[in-house]
Homo-oligomer: A and B are copies of this chain.
């Protein structure tokens, strides 16, 4: 046990928190000391598991003097209120991606954290995945020459997982842009150093029963000349995990028998049933996933002058001019160890990660630019980008 663990309060005990549980449980550097959740079952389950205090509101959680930092895992549109409350209370903040839905909210949050002198970290996102971190180091070392192009794509069943109604309304942060593109943007920006300049994109809202963007494709160029090709479909047919060694997004081995499961589970379900199904994925109800590999967000190839790097769940395949090799990216002990590294570094050592509030705002700008480019048919210049720290 670490002698002085970071005392973390959790705002929101839903799906996002559930996905962090295995990492919190496996890492003694962070101690969950309190939580806030509207559902009593969730609060009870938290207290039973972690022995801390369960509050009904985030404001009460922020007032807890025993809490040093707050992990905000509430729905997207609530992030702004909760980040402001935490900043006002002088707590460091780890907020789920996307930082916010609107750029205005994001700007307010970044300013509030700055004024309060607290760290604001946006994560977890897949830019924290150890293979992404390793590839970022390899690229920025310059040993493979200049980074020229990144191709990233991901084909998932995102749109057919159980959703609350607002998760299918774009203006409230629903659809694949704010929940999924944000991962790909974060990954690609991290590999390329952060400073995106311009983006051209098209989006697809192809299912009238779930009328929000379920797919997009985009070309984005960076200062220095690198171009990124990003594609995503959440319409649940082809599954690109077959090209990630049959390992799923959360590092779990995927079984063949599950084909079409998400869509099948939704057939003949009315919206109330669907919301109920979603709550079975919250703390105290759902089960956690057993990861055996690093998490990932679909195939990523980074082309440098003297090598192409292929990210896998276990590391980086390096395809050089005349030889190929593999560099392992260590898994565990906590599946999301790198997110907790960032939290501990910020709270204990005053060291910010790449994924600060400014960073999250820059990635959010790209989400909006994708929507704008798709609507106007024109490339969109990016104005609020920032660099990685290294």
Which chain A residues have a beta carbon within 8 Å of chain B's beta carbons?
Answer: 146, 148-149, 151, 153, 155, 198, 200-202, 204, 206-207, 215, 217-219, 221, 227, 229, 231, 233, 235-239, 243, 259-260, 263-264, 267, 301, 303, 305, 307-308, 310, 317, 319-324, 377-379
24 CB contacts below 8 A, A to B, read: A149-B204, A149-B215, A149-B231, A202-B221, A215-B303, A217-B227, A229-B231, A233-B308, A235-B308, A236-B321, A237-B319, A237-B320, A238-B301, A238-B303, A238-B308, A238-B310, A238-B319, A259-B323, A260-B320, A260-B323, A260-B324, A263-B321, A377-B379, A379-B379
A308: chain B residues at CB < 8 Å are 155, 233, 235, 237-238
Integer count of this chain's copies in the complex: 2
Residues in B with CB closer than 8 Å to A206 are: 146, 148, 305
* Chain B residues, CB < 8 A from A221: 202
B residues near A324, Cβ cutoff 8 Å: 259-260
Closest 9 A-B residue pairs measured CB to CB?
A237-B308, A260-B322, A238-B308, A237-B319, A202-B227, A200-B200, A217-B229, A238-B319, A264-B322
In the bound complex, what is the Cα–Cα distance between A34 and B219 (angstroms)?
Answer: 48
Q: How far is the CA of A379 from the CA of B201 in the complex (A)?
A: 11
Rounded to whole angstroms, the CA-CA distance of A235 and B303 in the bound complex is: 9
Taking CB atoms, residues of chain B closer than 8 Å to A239 are: 319
Chain B residues closer than 8 Å to A155, beta-carbon distance: 301, 308
Chain B residues whose CB sits within 8 angstroms of the CB of A379 once the complex forms: 200, 377-379
Neighbouring B residues of A233 by C-beta, 8 Å: 149, 303, 308
Interface majority SS (helix, strand, loop, mixed), chain A: strand
When C-beta atoms are compared, the residue in chain B nearest to A228 turns out to be B217
Which residues from B are CB-within-8-Å of A303?
215, 233, 235, 237-238
